[in-house]
Amino acid sequence: MSENQDTQDENWQEFENLATKIQQELAPAARVEKNVKLLGKRSGVERQIDILIEEVIGQYRVLIVIDCKDYKKPIDVKGVEEFMGLVEDVGANKGAMIAANGFTETAKKRAKDAGIDVYRLVDTTSTKWSAYVSLPCVITDRMIGSFNFTFTGSGLGPFRMKPQDFRLMTLHRKDGSQIDRLPNLVAKHWNNDVIPSTCGEHRGIPICDEETFIKTDDQLYPVNVKANVRVVEKFFFGQLPIESTRGFVDESSGDFLTTSFTTVSMNISEAEKMWERIDSIAQLAIKPLMVLHFKSVWTPDSL
């Protein structure tokens, strides 16, 4: 027996049962069975198959054999080569290995050269095979970058306006009652999706749907006010932890195979503080598996 076999966990059947259930979830249309005997075409003896996947496609019968290794150490080259011999002997179309603690680098290289898929089992609900799983993720956050206003007199003559801070300027009704401050009206339009959330300049957005006036020296002047808004986007990159899932991690590519997962609750403000700020998704060396788009709720104090 190899060193790996000497250190096989006593609960290997539990590991094999879990691997079979996961594989059944991944391939519901196929016949997935565990502990199957297949006659070796060259050896002439029955070979034990941990998991057998069989599917008929048209006139073809496709056989995939999977070996499960619940060892305390990573699988070495010898373990991979022994399995390669089994795959060839039973005439399988494909072979894969599932290990509890992964594979050595040389074993992964040997498996890749031979067309053998190598996986590590992950089940976050199990204390024995639990592992930290996360997805490379990008958060995009769209917000108002800047804004200004265009004033047009709606009366017969000119209107008078004193120099002032537009962040404090208030619009009035014809009876002199206050409607709201201009920045508050912009915020309401943004949060109610009146202002488009696409990046870029959005000009000529009516600021109010009723007749509006400005007040100078206690005199009201009728004006039409339109907002010009620049929408910007920020990008943040980080790892989004998975709260619950089970499946197989591809030891060669790092891809995760599963039928479902639940992420942890995300605090966008905290993520933006902790994650890396980037200029664009294109600059990343790895492709994010998830892109989450957000639109910030905006208040005048945000600028």
Smallest CA-to-CA distance from 66 within 107, 130, 21 is with 21
- Given a contact cutoff of 8 angstroms between Cβ atoms, the answer to whether 153 and 220 are in contact is no
**pLDDT (tens digit, 9 = 90+) per residue, 33-59?**
999 999 999 899 999 999 999 999 899
Separation of alpha carbons 171 and 185, rounded Å: 10
- Given a contact cutoff of 8 angstroms between Cβ atoms, the answer to whether 98 and 111 are in contact is no
User: In terms of DSSP bridges, do strands 219-250 and 276-278 run parallel, antiparallel, or are they unpaired?
Assistant: antiparallel
Specify whether the backbone of 44 is left (phi greater than 0), alpha (psi in -120 to 50) or beta.
Answer: left
pLDDT by residue, tens only, the chain of 303 residues: 334 444 555 678 899 999 999 999 999 999 999 999 999 998 999 999 999 999 998 999 999 999 999 998 999 999 999 999 999 999 999 999 999 999 999 999 999 999 999 999 989 887 677 777 888 999 999 999 999 999 999 877 788 888 888 878 999 999 999 999 999 999 999 999 999 999 999 999 999 999 999 999 999 999 999 999 999 999 999 999 888 999 998 998 888 899 999 988 888 888 889 999 999 999 998 888 889 999 988 777 655
Domains of the chain by start residue, with CATH: 3-123 (3.40.1350.10), 134-239+266-303 (no CATH)
Residue 299 has a pLDDT of 79
Residue 302 has a pLDDT of 55
* Sign of CA pseudo-dihedral 181, 187, 190, 192: negative
Count CB atoms within 10 A of the CB of residue 31: 11
Contacts of 67 (CB under 8 A, 6+ apart): 50, 51, 83, 86, 95, 96, 97, 98
Can you list the positions of beta strands (E) in 154-303? 170-172, 178-181, 200-206, 213-216, 219-250, 256-263, 276-278, 290-295
**pLDDT (tens digit, 9 = 90+) per residue, 166-183?**
878 999 999 999 999 999
Separation of alpha carbons 73 and 282, rounded Å: 38
Separation of alpha carbons 2 and 75, rounded Å: 10
Question: Where do the H-state alpha helices sit in 94-148?
Answer: 105-114
Q: Report the b/e string of 270-280 with b at 16+ CB within 10 A.
A: ebbeebeeeee
Residue 5 has a pLDDT of 47
Residue 10 has a pLDDT of 60
Q: Token pair of 174, please?
A: 């014809």
Residue 1 has a pLDDT of 34
Separation of alpha carbons 151 and 167, rounded Å: 15
